[in-house]
Structure 1
Amino acid sequence: MLKDLPLPEKMVSVLREDAIKAKVSKKELEEIIDRLLEEYEYACVEPCEAVGVVSAQSIGEPGTQMTMRTFHYAGVAEINVTLGLPRLIEIVDARKEPSTPMMTIALEEEFSNDRDNARKLAWEIQSSHIEHLADVTTDMANMQLVIDLHEKTLIQRDIGIDDIADKLRDGLGATVHIPEIPDNQIVVRPNEPSYRELLQLAKKVHEITLKGIEGIKRVVIRKEGDEYTLYTEGSKLQKVLEIEGVDATRIYTNNIGEIYSVFGIEAARNAIIHEASETLREQGLTVDARHIMLVADIMTCDGEVKQIGRHGISGEKASVFARAAFEVTVNHLLDAGMRGDVDQLNGVTENIIVGQPIKLGTGNVHLLAKRHGLD
């Protein structure tokens, strides 16, 4: 069976099948196989190689050359996104929320080819609050809030006065009234006629999301090629996926935690690799993908996204000395002493601390001499 073969032999078998279909000569096929095996052997890691240390150095050294600014995102002047060293730190720290969350939303054909439909969908996603739609006045004499709605904005955002009144009624728990004269006005009165209640209402009315998704502050439409794409300031992956017209197969967010909770650990691993690679590439730095893949694998190998720090990977090391060398040294040593922990001295850090060779490279090879003439 092909799946039971070692990787090099499996690759050669596939190549032979492809060569028969492509009508490649035997000599050409042998040359291709030789080159392939040569490249494969070159790409393999030497036994006992300290891959973790090499990866850490390979990512850490370019990290010292990174700038620390916030840039405009890929030509979208309205949306800022954190790049450079702060973004790389966010990724390896597995932050629950990035400092500048954003989404790239691809649309289905009906919406991606029509700007009006794309704009309509954008208003379904972008959160609308009362300050976007109206002027709010506090009428102390009559103990009420007077909301004067902007008619053009209501038409543009496709939201009716009754919808706004219903949202305010549910959110405020107060008396909401739509007078016949003048038009486009809503009056809100507190249930108890007190100044404190009125001022609380005036504050609370600005917090209610009247349309769209809470947390999506802005949506920008850009035409890329033949289709329109939405870029958002703010990220709410699960809720955006529920909106009709969004292409769920091509949606992306820079919030790795959301990708993990919605799509699972494999998607989160790919997102870590993509985000770290793009952050380095944007700065003009080239790091071999395998170093970044190793970091992503370590962060996700337990089935959840963990940071590389004392609350994640480094804090869960089996070695007492390795944990103590990282941070909060005294606490680790005291706790280990109270529990009676034993350190097996298998890693790099702990062997350096006690002054003996590390178990990597030549330090992992033991020579045994046979003694003759002994019973």
Structure 2
Amino acid sequence: MFLKKSTFFTTGQLAKRTGLSLRTLRYYDQIGLLTPDKDQTGAVRRYGVDDLSRLQQIQTLKYVGLSLEEIRSILAAEMDSSGKIRDSLLAQLDVLRQKMLHTENVVKAIRRALEEGNALSEGGWNHLADIIQAVQTDQKWGEQYRSPSRLQSRMHLYDRFSTNPHGWYKWVFEQLGREPDVHLLELGCGDGALWQRNADRIPESWRITLTDLSEGMVEEARSRLKDLPQFKFLVADAQDIPFHDGQFDKVIAGNMLYHVQDIPKAIREIHRVIKKGGCFYTTTMSLRHLQEVEQLGISFDPEMEVLDRVIERFHLGNADELLSPFFREVEPFFYEDSLRITEAQALIDYMISTPMNARSRLQGAALDRFRTYVEQILEREGALLVTKENGMYKGRK
């Protein structure tokens, strides 16, 4: 049933419609998690369509396993944004899909223990340990919930303050070549920025399949590229690519392999779907990338973390070692660049967009103090100079 903005529910009506108890709704009201419009008068609480949307978010995130305090933090961060219900639902879809994958991994570990014999036998302890490890995998559900706006905050900093005027996305696209009739797969396409920013340069004869583990990202890319006939879109896991052997001329994975749980498995899958003689292109950063931003955070708060250490799993220093067992002619290409940051707010937006603890450390009075701290540095130094080391490895099958 379509609800008008003018539709209201009493507490009792909302409880009956949603199946929640009166006690739960009153508790949410009491702790300020779901409070009806403050302009209402009288003892009867009236919930509108926006309240129903907020309640739906609360219950979905509770189901995923977030605490009420974590949910409060997420919803408070969204209140000042221009997010729409559709964006929220896509984000929820992402985190639910991640939970399903996590559950599937646990189920597989249990089945493996059952299929390979008595789980309590001498050799069964390894199976039990595998099950525990699968259950204990830290999924950081609150961070999984975030929408593409986090990625766009980081891109905004690069766009405004990079010293190389050529542009990262233009450079990456140029490495792919311009041969006609190319069948190309991108893994971890994000919001499709690589293709949107090169839309007028994509050969008409190319067939391009964009995939991402995040349904929200796939939908964002589809929305941005909907007028370009060369593209198809699919939610897919790089560790289990749903395509035939030798199906693609080229595969690209931009700044994403370090996020994959089993990197060698993903590279093996990538190798499988590339034609003989075809190429794999993957981008990443060095371990020195943006270190000045990390140091800035630590100089203000020794407990602050900005840069995700996940980069240590696949970076410019070890990519050759990981790729060489699968591809021949593995070649590195480096993009010369740096950042000259002159605006405090853009830098802060970047720092709190990462999955580390900067967002939680920079709240309220601490955020105000940090903004003043950064502004004083910029006024004294003129700019914050930041190392930016990006590059690409190309391997041929």
Q: Compute the TM-score of the two structures, normalised by the length of structure 1.
A: 0.22
**Which of structures 1 and 2 has the bigger CA Rg?**
1
Q: Compute the TM-score of the two structures, normalised by the length of structure 2.
A: 0.21
Name the structure, 1 or 2, with higher relative contact order (CA <8 Å, separation 6+): 1
